[in-house]
């Protein structure tokens, strides 16, 4: 064993013996580090888990290969001035614009209108308030993920014939029919009886809104009972057989619409579009801001833990002044004393870090089970916690260790 490794092993043994001699004090000293590390791990896992949850729900609500075209389509808030400018510059998407896209690019692309309105829905004596009535095309399930667990989606023939058929979400099923199948039964929208032909899979919430209170009806029927649209939103994606990627499909649709709306060469688009990537980027930006604010706040407890460790180490130096004098009198160097006390501080904080890491894992797992969200503890936050807790030990232990190393052996031997 090399001299340095021998010194390190000796210092480690002395540190462990000293801490075992004062178990309660050592544990109370660790509390700040334990709480700090577990907080960092828990917050980090919550951020990662929320990111994964938001991405999965967005994929279900929006589709992974589809995009949205509208007069105004954006994520995040807009100021009134920004909205007014978009309304001034951007063209309304009308039904004849949809026909134009289908005629010019229909061999490569799939398009579906998408209109939304909140209405009360009735079945017998029961009323479901504020259901999301969605007027769309029969091709929508081919564009984005609209999966039915019972029944089917409405057909193109039903759409052409403006039939009163619908696909409902699980909240509406539970309100009106409980656990029984709703297929073939009727709900009433604006006085019109709609036959239920499909039940959509349960989606949960996205952006604070339920996705299970939807009623999908043919766009032609939507126009019949509510009226024509002033401006449509369009969901689109490349046909699978076209071999186009989503970005290439978006370019095809943009070129066609720019031609339709006579946009000048080099000028910005006079319409909006929204892709899954832009939604994910917005979610990542929000979660990044949350992490940048919350993680440093949780580390305050690590700073407090470091101050506690430094205070306890200073007390320990005072209590063991005579021991330090004896060690120096028999040949211990300043570096030996420095290493011993520094090792104690690092060992304290490292043990606290490991315990905090375990507590964070347990808490994350418990919250995952309680709220049904997968809180993922990632290697990044594990590494961050271990590194920071070790640095806390070095920084908080350096001054007491240096003070102990610089004690005069004669003065130290006289201490009581």
Does 216 or 66 have the greater pLDDT score? 216
Please write the tens of the pLDDT for every residue from 160-179.
999 999 999 999 999 999 88
Residue 90 lies in a domain: no
Q: How many CA atoms lie within 13 A of 113 on its CB side?
A: 27
* Mean pLDDT score of the chain: 81
Please write the tens of the pLDDT for every residue from 68-81.
888 887 766 667 88
238 exposure class (CB count in 10 Å sphere: 0-12, 13-18, 19+): buried
Domain end: 185, 220, 244, which one?
A: 244
Are both 128 and 9 inside the same structural domain? no
| pLDDT at residue number 347 | 76
352 exposure class (CB count in 10 Å sphere: 0-12, 13-18, 19+): buried
Report yes or no: 306 and 353 within 8 Å, Cβ to Cβ. Answer: no
Domain count, the chain: 2
Are both 231 and 313 inside the same structural domain? no
Residue 398 lies in a domain: yes
| pLDDT band at residue 340 using 50, 70 and 90 as cut-offs | confident
Domain end: 194, 223, 244, which one?
A: 244
Residue 266 lies in a domain: no
Please write the tens of the pLDDT for every residue from 360-395.
888 888 877 777 667 777 777 777 777 777 777 777
Domain end: 189, 223, 244, which one?
A: 244
**Percent of the chain scoring above 90 in pLDDT:** 31
What ranges in 63-182 are assigned the alpha helix state H?
A: 80-89, 95-105, 140-143, 156-160, 170-177
| pLDDT at residue number 2 | 57
Are both 12 and 117 inside the same structural domain? no
| pLDDT at residue number 174 | 93
Are both 141 and 205 inside the same structural domain? yes
Are both 323 and 378 inside the same structural domain? yes
Rg from Cα positions in the chain: 33
Q: Domain range holding 209?
A: 100-244
Total count of residues recorded for the chain:
416
| pLDDT at residue number 173 | 94
7-12 own/partner pairs: CB under 8 Å, 24+ apart = 7/335, 7/336, 7/339, 8/339, 8/343, 10/336, 10/340, 11/336, 11/339, 11/340, 11/342, 11/343, 12/343, 12/347
Are both 237 and 104 inside the same structural domain? yes
5-19, 128-142, 185-199: range with lowest mean pLDDT: 5-19
Judged against a pLDDT cut of 60, whether residue 136 lies above it is answered with yes
β pairing state of 165-168 and 214-218: antiparallel
Please write the tens of the pLDDT for every residue from 101-127.
999 999 999 999 999 999 999 998 999
Are both 291 and 397 inside the same structural domain? yes
């Amino acid at each position: 064993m090399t001299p340095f490794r021998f010194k390190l092993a000796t210092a480690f043994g002395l540190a462990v013996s000293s801490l075992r001699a004062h178990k309660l004090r050592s544990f109370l000293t660790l509390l700040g580090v334990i709480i700090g590390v577990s907080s960092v791990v828990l917050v980090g896992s919550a951020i990662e888990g929320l990111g994964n949850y938001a991405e999965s729900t967005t994929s279900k609500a929006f589709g992974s290969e589809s995009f949205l075209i509208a007069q105004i389509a954006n994520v995040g808030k807009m100021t009134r001035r920004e909205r007014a400018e978009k309304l001034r510059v951007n063209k309304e998407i009308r039904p004849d614009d949809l026909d134009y896209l289908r005629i010019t690019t229909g061999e490569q692309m799939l398009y579906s209108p998408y209109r939304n309105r909140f209405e009360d829905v009735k079945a017998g004596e029961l009323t479901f308030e504020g259901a999301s009535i969605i007027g769309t095309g029969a091709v929508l399930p081919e564009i984005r993920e609209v999966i039915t667990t019972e029944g089917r989606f409405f057909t193109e023939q039903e759409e052409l014939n403006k039939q009163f058929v619908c696909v409902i979400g699980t909240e509406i099923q539970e309100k009106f029919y409980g656990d029984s199948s709703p297929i073939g039964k009727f709900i009433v929208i604006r006085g019109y009886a709609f036959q239920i032909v499909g039940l959509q899979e349960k989606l949960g919430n996205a952006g604070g809104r339920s996705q299970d209170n939807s009623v999908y009806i043919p766009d032609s029927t939507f126009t019949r009972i509510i009226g024509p649209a002033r401006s449509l939103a369009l969901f689109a994606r490349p046909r699978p057989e076209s071999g186009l990627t989503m970005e290439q499909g978006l370019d095809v649709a943009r070129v066609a619409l720019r031609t339709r709306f006579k946009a000048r060469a080099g000028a910005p688009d006079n319409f909006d579009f929204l892709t899954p990537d832009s939604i994910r980027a917005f979610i990542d930006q929000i979660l990044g801001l949350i992490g940048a604010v919350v993680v440093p706040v949780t580390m305050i407890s690590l700073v407090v833990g470091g101050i506690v460790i430094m205070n306890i180490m200073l007390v320990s130096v005072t209590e063991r002044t005579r021991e330090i004098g004896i060690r120096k009198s028999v040949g211990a160097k300043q570096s030996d004393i420095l290493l011993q006390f520094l090792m104690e501080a690092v060992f304290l904080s490292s043990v606290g870090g490991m315990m905090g890491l375990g507590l964070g894992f347990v808490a994350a797992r418990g919250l995952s089970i309680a709220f049904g969200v997968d809180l993922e503890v990632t290697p990044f936050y594990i590494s961050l916690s271990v590194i920071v807790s070790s640095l806390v030990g070095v920084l908080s232990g350096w001054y007491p260790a240096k003070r102990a190393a610089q004690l005069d052996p004669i003065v130290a031997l006289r201490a009581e």
